[in-house]
């Protein structure tokens, strides 16, 4: 999630309730999987800012939105007044190791980000041959099966209950990385725990309905092209973020508990890459701190 706003409106926007009315329409995702590099996404944000007639913005980024906000500051610092990032810290580009190789080294092959490009062979060996339909593309036949995830990314397939998956992710307070069991995927996950006070069944049903309409392909394509982003961003290796930045994270956040992250944040590495940095660690708070403790974040 990335929030852009004129500086004068930021204090109001940060205090909007989490259950503010949502737009009824969901934007169609780009059809090309290669349209999900940070260059495309930052380009979309710059286009949005231009369309709104805003010259300088405050950026607020959460999770992968924090990464996008970071790249926005790298590519177009002249447009950014300040940045607040939550949950996911800045990771300087390692020119010797691609992102997916780094994730596998840290968490193994079952780590959820590492799975989009796996098991393509499974599709080829477990599905019978069908003759070509000259009037319909294969993906147009698959799309009505709203619970089949990332088939359009050419990867693994899992039949899941979307609401159950949403509950599982949003309710988790485990600092361990989410992994996908090789044999069953997410199909046999146990029932999620009771919903936290900040998450209602209405919220879950809303998110599940939207994912059921559009699928998970858009977001997962971003993972699929992390290595391409790494290659294209080579000219920005070791570039500092020189806008004022506040970083907020919960001590139970899985990102904060990635090996080496605490040392990077607290031993000077983060400050070296982001000279105008302030960091805040919220005790007893997990990944979705913007919903779990919105008043404290604001």
Active site residues: 63, 223, 287
Rounded Cα–Cα distance for residues 91 and 103 (Å): 12
- The C-alpha angle 196, 280, 48, rounded to 5 degrees, equals 80
* Chain Cα centroid distance, residue 26: 17
> For the purposes of burial, counting CB atoms within 10 Å of the CB of 60, is it exposed (0-12), middle (13-18) or buried (19 or more)?
buried
Nearest to 253 by CA among 286, 226, 283: 286
Rounded Cα–Cα distance for residues 276 and 242 (Å): 7
**What's phi and psi for 47, nearest 5 deg?**
-60, -40
Rounded Cα–Cα distance for residues 71 and 218 (Å): 19
């Amino acid at each position: 999630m990335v929030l852009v706003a004129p500086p004068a409106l930021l204090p109001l926007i940060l205090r909007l309730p989490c259950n503010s009315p949502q737009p009824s329409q969901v934007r169609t995702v780009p059809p090309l999987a290669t349209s999900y590099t940070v260059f495309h996404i930052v380009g979309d944000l710059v286009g949005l800012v231009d369309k709104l007639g805003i010259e300088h913005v405050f950026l607020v980024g959460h999770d992968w939105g924090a990464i996008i906000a970071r790249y926005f500051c790298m590519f177009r610092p002249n447009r950014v007044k300040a940045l607040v990032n939550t949950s996911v810290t800045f990771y300087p580009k390692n020119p010797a190791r691609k992102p997916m190789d780094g994730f596998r080294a840290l968490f193994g092959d079952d780590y959820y980000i590492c799975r989009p490009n796996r098991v393509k062979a499974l599709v080829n060996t477990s599905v019978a041959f069908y003759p070509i339909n000259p009037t319909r593309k294969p993906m147009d036949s698959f799309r009505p099966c709203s619970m089949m995830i990332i088939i359009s990314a050419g990867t693994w397939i899992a039949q899941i209950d979307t609401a159950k998956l949403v509950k599982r992710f949003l309710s988790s307070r485990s600092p361990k990385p989410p992994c996908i069991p090789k044999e069953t995927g997410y199909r046999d996950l146990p029932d999620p725990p009771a919903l936290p006070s900040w998450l209602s069944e209405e919220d879950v049903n809303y998110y599940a309905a939207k994912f059921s309409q559009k699928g998970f392909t858009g977001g997962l394509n971003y993972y699929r092209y992390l290595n391409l982003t790494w290659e294209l961003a080579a000219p920005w290796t070791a570039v500092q973020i020189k806008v004022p930045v506040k970083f907020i994270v919960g001590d139970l956040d899985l990102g904060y508990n990635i090996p080496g992250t605490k040392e990077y944040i607290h031993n000077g590495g983060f400050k070296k890459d982001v000279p105008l940095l302030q960091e805040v660690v919220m005790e007893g708070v997990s990944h979705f701190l913007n919903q779990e403790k919105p008043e404290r974040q604001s």
